[in-house]
Amino acid sequence: MILIVDLNWKKDSLGFCEFVLPIVSIAKELDEVVVKHYAELTREDTSKCNIIIFSGTALKDHVTLNQTEKFEWIKTCEKPILGICAGMQTIGLVFGLNLKKCLGIGMTQITTLKANPLFSSTFKAYSLHNFSVVPSDDFEVLAESTHCVQAIKHRKRDVYGVLFHPEVRNKEILQRFIHSFGQDRRV
């Protein structure tokens, strides 16, 4: 089962249709999907799933970036996690990374720096963000654009973040994440 965590400022906001439903559309073709708003997420929700995907949010929606205490569970979660845009930023903050101003709207050229199971080479992706993360020793940079870090992975765990929105243009990245890590890994 895939748990998709809605990071939008409130449950059933307009951002749900824009940032969560496209992920659901891709994921439900591959496995059972459950969607939970971050404010309603429980330990039981995370224990029932095989993988977790954090959605992105609207450009001016920074709510989760100011509520990282609600995501401390990520540090001990043994499930593979993929954070998209605000999801990557939230993951970064939980693990002590700093954010850096980096406005990106529209198509962006992404260059892969390190081999990984999600993407390779150079490709175009859709961006909609205000911030990127500043890398640390705990995370390796998987990809970048000319202006900022575009993808990261925790060095010891299957915790990934992408700044761009694969649900818009590169759905194969979400499919690869689900195929690579979606097998039954319940602890």
CA distance 86 to 94: 12
Query: How many other CB atoms are there within 10 angstroms of residue 23's CB atom?
Result: 26
Q: Is 129 a catalytic residue?
A: no
CA distance 8 to 141: 26
Name the residue with tokens 């940079």: 141
Quote the strand ranges of the chain, DSSP E. 2-6, 33-37, 51-54, 81-84, 98-112, 122-134, 139-144, 149-154, 159-162
Active-site residue (options: 37, 49, 85, 129): 85
By the 8 A CB rule, do 170 and 162 touch? no
Q: Is 62 a catalytic residue?
A: no
Contacts of 39 (CB under 8 A, 6+ apart): 10, 11, 70
Q: Is 167 a catalytic residue?
A: yes
Contacts of 67 (CB under 8 A, 6+ apart): 38
Query: Which residues are part of the catalytic machinery?
Result: 85, 165, 167
